[in-house]
Amino acid sequence: MITSPLQTEPIIGLEIHVQLRTETKMFCGCPVRFDAPPNSCVCPVCLGHPGALPVINKRAVALAIRAGLALNCDIASFTKWDRKSYYYPDMPKNYQISQYDLPLCGPGHFDIEVGPDVHRIRIRRAHLEEDAGKSIHEPSGGTLVDLNRAGTPLLEIVTEPDFHSAEQAHMFCVELHRLILHLGVSEAVMKKGQMRFEPNVNVRICSDNVEATTPIAEIKNLNSFKAVRRAISFDVERQIATWREDPQYVKGTAPSENRGYNDDRGITEFQRPKEAAHDYRYFPDPDLRPLNVSDEWLTRIRAELPELPIAREKRLIEQHGLSPSDARTILTDRTTADVFDEVVALGAPAGVAAKQLVNIWSQLANDRATPLAALPVSAERLAALAAFVDSGAVNKTAANRIAEAMLDGDESPAQLAESMGLLQIQDTDATQAWVDEALADNPDALEDLRTHPKKIKAVTGFLRGQIMKRSGGKADPKLVGQLLEKRLAELL
Ligand code: ZN
Ligand code: MN
């Protein structure tokens, strides 16, 4: 057993399967539906009946190219289909149609920001294939097979082993998920298995006089970001511990393996030795013609690419002065980001509009379990509320109530503020009176301030609250601040 201190470097690559957002399957016209009754979306092609012939889904190819372009990949002008043979009860043909040596999307790269550094992750390839069905293991012991999912278009993205920590891999998955959503190529709901991650992990180990590399473990089918991080962290430690016990546990000597992740226990478990490519007996599918991607088609898809999330986030921060966290929240989904751009284009003050989207409208959308963009309120009215609050007519608390009322009718923010009695009172005399009353009612606060001048922030905060209360919430906080500051200067 080796107990000396070690230098270790994890080496991690990722394979990601993304279900493409198409109406129909990859090679037949069956609908792609997540919750249809079992085996109701099937036909001779996806059931693998003899003699049934596959037909390529053009939309799936277009979506795959779109993702490939966003990952800076070369797109092949000539690509073909191959059979990847293996037996599994939920794969009735006994082979999967995939792409072997001529993938649709070739080498590319994707940059992620890790703190202040930009980390370039090389993409080895991204190819099209079909999903398998689902085996449902009954608690009573039997197994049922549902083939609705069989033949669903999948994009498999493969990175080079460019990650050196679980955190980096995790960050990439989060960023890739956001990209996929922005591109609209998949719904990417991980709970539905629409995006699945498979890290390949091994570790380079150096000690005083040994240099070793552990065998690769492929962790299958992770369907959350947290699982990606935890599974990789666990397996890195496991591999180092195994090597300490057994110096023969090195690549080339010990076999590579497939492992499953046990989420309840936070550990990975041995499944089977890892297959090598030759085990699959890949050969060109004789039922499908190779695919030519014309320059003209490629140009058209490229022209339809939206602004990508990382660039868009930068723009929101630099052009509109948003905080990084507000920019990130707005970019969580593309339709919300589109709403923001629209509202700003209509002349709304960007900062206030962003805060209202993040703090008010997202909350209202959440309460109603609907996307923000689907709330029954137009961009014009969103812009109107931002401008109204920015003018100082109402305070932020009032804005919440007005926003809620806006969902139930088409009165303007000004009309609502008026009818709900929320307009701020700009009257200096009235405000001055509230200031003086609050001071007279709280002599202790003033005394406190005389003996502890450092408490200025806490005490004025308290007094502001008292003044706002006296005004019934209608005083303009800005005016209150000015008048209070002036009066305190006179009194102290
Ligand atoms: Zn079918
Ligand atoms: Mn695959």
Q: What is the whole-number distance in angstroms between the Cα of residue 80 and the centre of ligand 1?
A: 21
Q: What is the whole-number distance in angstroms between the Cα of residue 193 and the centre of ligand 1?
A: 20
Q: What is the whole-number distance in angstroms between the Cα of residue 45 and the centre of ligand 2?
A: 19
Q: What is the whole-number distance in angstroms between the Cα of residue 213 and the centre of ligand 2?
A: 26
Q: What is the whole-number distance in angstroms between the Cα of residue 83 and the centre of ligand 1?
A: 18
Q: What is the whole-number distance in angstroms between the Cα of residue 42 and the centre of ligand 1?
A: 4
Say how many CA atoms lie within 13 Å of 201 toward its Cβ. 31
DSSP annotation of 192 reads G
Long-range CB pairs of 184-189, under 8 A, 24+ apart, other chains included: 184/21, 184/306, 184/334, 185/18, 185/20, 185/21, 185/63, 185/64, 185/66, 185/67, 185/155, 186/18, 186/19, 186/20, 186/21, 186/63, 186/155, 187/19, 187/21, 188/18, 188/19
Q: Please name which ligand lies nearest the alpha carbon of 158.
A: 2
- What pTM value is reported for the model? 0.85
Q: Please name which ligand lies nearest the alpha carbon of 42.
A: 1
**For the residues of 216-250, what is the DSSP string, one character each?**
PEEEP-B-SHHHHHHHHHHHHHHHHHHHHH-TT-S
| Distance (Å, whole) CA 248 – CA 255 | 11
Residues 130-167 as b/e (b if ≥16 CB within 10 A, e otherwise) read bbbbeeeeeeeeeeebbbbbbbbbbbbbbbebbbebbe
Report the candidate in 75, 76, 90, 83 with the shortest Cα–Cα distance to residue 54: 83
Q: Please name which ligand lies nearest the alpha carbon of 220.
A: 2
Amino acid 424: pLDDT: 84
Q: Please name which ligand lies nearest the alpha carbon of 157.
A: 2
E strand or H helix at 9 = strand 7-19
Q: Please name which ligand lies nearest the alpha carbon of 92.
A: 1
Q: What is the whole-number distance in angstroms between the Cα of residue 27 and the centre of ligand 1?
A: 7
Q: Please name which ligand lies nearest the alpha carbon of 103.
A: 2
Residue 474, exposed/middle/buried by CB under 10 A (0-12, 13-18, 19+)?
buried
Amino acid 116: pLDDT: 82
| Distance (Å, whole) CA 463 – CA 491 | 14
| Distance (Å, whole) CA 8 – CA 410 | 63
Amino acid 376: pLDDT: 95
Which residues have C-beta within 8 Å of that of residue 476, sequence separation ≥ 6?
392, 395, 424, 425, 426, 431
Amino acid 290: pLDDT: 96
Q: What is the whole-number distance in angstroms between the Cα of residue 48 and the centre of ligand 1?
A: 9
Q: What is the whole-number distance in angstroms between the Cα of residue 62 and the centre of ligand 1?
A: 20
Q: What is the whole-number distance in angstroms between the Cα of residue 156 and the centre of ligand 2?
A: 6
Question: What residues form DSSP beta bridges with 197?
Answer: 16, 222
Predicted confidence pLDDT, tens digits, the chain (492 residues): 777 778 999 999 999 999 999 999 999 999 999 999 999 999 999 999 999 999 999 999 999 999 999 999 999 999 999 999 998 899 999 999 999 999 999 999 999 987 788 899 999 999 999 999 999 999 999 999 999 999 999 999 999 999 999 999 999 999 999 999 999 999 999 999 999 999 999 999 998 778 999 999 999 999 999 999 999 999 999 999 999 999 999 999 999 999 999 999 999 999 998 877 778 999 999 999 999 999 999 999 999 999 999 999 999 999 999 999 999 999 988 999 999 999 999 999 999 999 999 999 999 999 999 999 999 999 999 999 999 999 888 888 889 999 999 999 889 999 999 999 888 888 889 999 999 999 999 999 989 988 998 988 999 999 999 999 898 888 888 889 999 999 998 988
Q: Please name which ligand lies nearest the alpha carbon of 28.
A: 1
Q: What is the whole-number distance in angstroms between the Cα of residue 151 and the centre of ligand 1?
A: 7
Q: What is the whole-number distance in angstroms between the Cα of residue 60 and the centre of ligand 1?
A: 15
Q: Please name which ligand lies nearest the alpha carbon of 30.
A: 1
| Distance (Å, whole) CA 250 – CA 287 | 42
